[in-house]
Structures are given as C-alpha cells and as structure tokens.
Amino acid sequence: MTPVLPGSTDTAGQRATLGVVGGGQLGRMFVHAAQRLGYFTAVLEPDAQSPAGLVSHHHIRTSYDDPAGLAQLAQLCQAITTEFENVPAQALHLLAQTRAVAPSAAVVGIAQNRIEEKAHFAACADVSGVNCAPYTVIETPAQLQAVQEERTDLLPGILKTARMGYDGKGQVRVKTATELGAAWEELGGVACVLEKMLPLKAECSVLVARGWDGQIVSFAPQRNVHVEGILAVTHAYEGNMPPALADRARDAAISIAHHLGYVGVLCVEFFVVEDGTEHGGLVVNEMAPRPHNSGHYTLNACDASQFDLQVHAMAGLPLPQPRQHSPAIMLNLLGEVWFDADGLPREPDWCSVLRLPGTHLHLYGKLQARAGRKMGHLTITGPDVASVTSVARRAAGLLGLPGLDAI
C-alpha cells in the first residue's frame, strides 16, 4: 500500500479522495475526520438526505451494488472503506480490483454471517485466549430436531439469525425445545445459531486499528450497558472493569484482528460472565468491521478518535497509539428523546443539558426521529470519574433516558 498523503493531488490535479460505502452517522464522522486532514471525500449512498452524503464533497446516489456507482466511486477515490457491515461483500470485492479497500470483502463477509464469525472465534481461541459461548448451527429441520433431542445442554439459549441481526434484531430467547422450534419458525426457518445463555455480569468492547503493514494500536476496553438490545451507556475510564479482565479482552481483540489480517478499525464485543465458569470470566460475542457506537466517546476524550484511526489505517498512514486524557461516559440518544410520555413530539431541553460541565452533544443530521433510531449521542468528560458520573446522571434525567440506574 503506497500511502495516500493528506492534501496531495494526482497527475490530473485531483485532490486525494477517500471513499466510504454507506451514508449513516458513522460515515458522517469518518468524512469529518478525513476532511480535517485535507482529504476530499466521496460517499456511495442512495438516500439523498443521508448524514454522510450531506457533508461530503461527492455524493454518489446509487444502490450499494450498482456497477455504475461503484465505478464512479473507484474513479474518484484512492482508498475506500465501509461504515456498516451489511454492505454487499461482492461490492467491496469489485472495488478492490482497482483500489485499496479496507476492511476487505472477505473479512466483511465473515462479520455478516454469525456462523462464519463464531467459527473464526473458535479457530483463533487458542491464540486469543478467549472463546465464544457454546453454540450450534441450525439450518435445516433435521438439524433443529437433532438439537431438540440431543443438545438440550444449550438451553436456555438465544436463537440468532445468521445474517442481518443487529441492535437486538433477529434474536429470540428460548428456554425449552418446544420454544426453540417455535422461535425458528418465527424467524422464518432461516440459518441460525443457538447460543447458550451464560450468567452475564456485564458487557464490554475493544476497539483496535490495524494498518496494511500489520501495525496495530488499541483503545482501552469500554464497559457497555444495553437496553432492549440497543446500546444505552458506555463507561470509558480507568477502573471501569477489573484490570486483568480488561487486559485479556484487549489482547484477545488484537489477536482476532491479526488472525483476520484485518486492515482498518475493528470493534470486538465481549460478555463478562460470572467467575468460576470454564470461560474464565470472558467470552467473545461478536465483531463489527468498522468504528462502533461504543467508541464515540473517543471524539472528545482521546487525542485520536476511532475515526481518525480509520482514516490513518485505510490511507496507509502511521497509526499513533491513542491516549485518553479524560474519563468519559457516553449516552446514546434514540428517537424516543424527541417525544414526551404521551408520545407527542417535543424538543429536548438542550439548553439545560448544555449548561452542564463537560457535555459534548453530537447530533447526526437525521431529519426524522422515530423509536429506536440512533439520532445522536452525548459524551460527558471531566477531571474524575465521580464528576463525570454525576453530570451523566443529571443529563440522563433531563432527557428522560433509559438505563439511568446503570450510570
């Protein structure tokens, strides 16, 4: 990979341009990070009002697999990334014929399929030191029957679709073999994995960035709280989880990235389980081949954000080891914030929130709020954990956010 230098131009006088497939908020924050370094940007996204498309130099309004749109993106850009894992992997493969693409189509394909993802985690468990929860694959009625009769050790469990599951979607909790059969039918009889439910204490995630040359840097693990399957709160500060467990999670995420030959920013999510289990207190849950909601605090609490590292990695620039300079708590802002208890539209009390010290509001430019839609986030930073926690609780109360007791 020949580095794509900031502010450079090609022989035709075209400014160095970085591209992203997908126009959501992660693409928007990537575009801002790239532009801050002097790059031009191009977004491939069909939505005319997409958050990333509205702030980019170029907005190619085609579907993600449109040959003409992909050809235009390749013509404009020297390096290309994606902001979500459900972009067609074949589109990334096509782009990689002529341009640097990070992450690769092969890695994105693994992350798109829970069956392949879990097989990868199991394959590198000896190196990473962390395995996934016990699971089995259900793709046919015969496999379902075999599980119902022979693998009751996986119950109670969670049945998850192999594809297109995120933010708690495509998942059903089951306690008995009968419930398992009904759940598989409810999910449409598609390929699934049945994962054993473990005694969960907490959830955490680790963000790593790996370059074309194998150089890798990482952020400290962040502890996450989910409400109805959607991230609500991220705790990012020293002591947010036991140091030995945090070190294991960080080392495991780095091993997983190396095992994949990954290039770009990767988020690996873990479950923290009750001590005394065979899993040693930590199991790997899933990975996201992109920046992650739980890493948004890095925009305000670190000297290099996850989006800065995404730009560096794909462009072939050196990867600085990020340094967190402030304790932080991130609060996710879903569409419910824009409605009162009776379901009537309201404008959130931003003035009261922004009077609080250390508050950093990020709204994503989405024009319509609806339940469950990620509209923005609020990061609170401060000199110590106690002050950050106090302000975060006050802000959550003013906005009527769920998970207040978890802050």
247 in a labelled binding site: no
Tell me the C-alpha distance between 380 and 235, whole Å: 10
165 in a labelled binding site: yes
Is residue 265 within 8 A of residue 309, CB to CB? The reply is yes
DSSP 296-311: TTHHHHBSS-HHHHHH
7 in a labelled binding site: no
Query: Which of 365, 212, 264, 376 minimizes the C-alpha distance to 20?
Result: 264
Tell me the C-alpha distance between 336 and 354, whole Å: 19
372 in a labelled binding site: no
Tell me the C-alpha distance between 399 and 395, whole Å: 6
166 in a labelled binding site: yes
168 in a labelled binding site: yes
Query: Which of 99, 45, 111, 81 minimizes the C-alpha distance to 310?
Result: 81
Tell me the C-alpha distance between 209 and 184, whole Å: 37
285 in a labelled binding site: yes
366 in a labelled binding site: no
175 in a labelled binding site: no
Is residue 389 within 8 A of residue 308, CB to CB? The reply is no
Query: Which of 68, 75, 108 minimizes the C-alpha distance to 90?
Result: 108
DSSP 252-292: HHHHHHHHHT--EEEEEEEEEE-TTSTTTTEEEEEEESS--
Tell me the C-alpha distance between 171 and 230, whole Å: 13
23 in a labelled binding site: no
117 in a labelled binding site: no
39 in a labelled binding site: no
Q: Which residues pair with 306 in a beta bridge?
A: none
- Residue with tokens 């980019």, as numbered in its chain: 56
66 in a labelled binding site: no
Tell me the C-alpha distance between 322 and 310, whole Å: 12
Q: Is the peptide bond before 357 cis (omega within 30 degrees of 0)?
A: no
What residues have CB less than 8 Å from 123, skipping those under 6 apart? 259
E strand or H helix at 194: strand 192-196
316 in a labelled binding site: no
Is residue 63 within 8 A of residue 69, CB to CB? The reply is yes
Contacts 24+ apart (CB under 8 A), 211-215: 211/263, 211/312, 211/313, 211/316, 211/318, 211/319, 212/1, 212/100, 212/102, 212/263, 212/313, 212/316, 213/1, 214/258, 215/318, 215/319
248 in a labelled binding site: no
Q: Residues comprising the binding site for ATP?
A: 114, 160, 165-171, 195-198, 203, 226, 285-286
Q: Residues comprising the binding site?
A: 114, 160, 165-171, 195-198, 203, 226, 285-286
